[in-house]
Amino acid sequence: MFNHGALVLTPANLPNAADLPRGYELPAAHFRLGADDVRRYLEAVEDCSNAYGQGPEGPAWLPPLAVAALALRAILEQVELPAGALHAGQEVEFRHPVPVGASLCARARVAQRSEMRGAVISVIEFDVAEEGSATLAVVGRATVIAPRGEAPS
C-alpha cells in the first residue's frame, strides 16, 4: 500500500505536520515490543487478564492497543507537531495477532487534508505488519489537528 525510500530524519529536517499534503507518504517506522515492554504496558493499563496467552517469558502475544499506540508514536515522531497540535480521533482495526518480540514495520500516508479557521485537519492512514510479512496486523486512521503556521517573512 505505501512505499517510501530510506530517509534519515533529524530534528532539523522533520517536516511540519501542518505542511504535509494529501498523499504524502511518511518513511516506514520500525519498532519492536519485547516481554519487558509488554509487562510494563499491561501494568500501566492495569490489565491482569490472561488474554495474551503465556509463554516462558510472560505473555505470548502483543496487546493490540499497545501495537497501535506505539505504531502511531513511531509515525508521529517523524513529523514536527506544532504547539497546539491535537490528536483528535482514531479508528483501529486488528486483523492478526502479533507475537511478543516481533520486529514490526508501520507505514503511513496523509489520506485527507483540509484547512479551517487557521487549523489543518489531517487524516493519517497507517498499517502495521511484521517485518517481511505482507499480512497486516493492524490498520487504522488517526486525525490530527494542527495550527497553521505563519509563512516566514
Cα 55 from Cα 33, distance rounded (Å): 15
pTM: 0.81
Domain segments of the chain: what residues?
A: 16-33+61-147
Per-residue pLDDT tens over the stretch 77-102: 888 888 889 989 999 999 999 999 99
The answer as to CATH 3.10.129.10 being correct for domain 16-33+61-147 is: yes
Three-state DSSP state, 73: helix
Q: What percent of the chain has pLDDT over 90?
A: 56
Cα 126 from Cα 124, distance rounded (Å): 6
Per-residue pLDDT tens over the stretch 45-56: 998 888 888 766
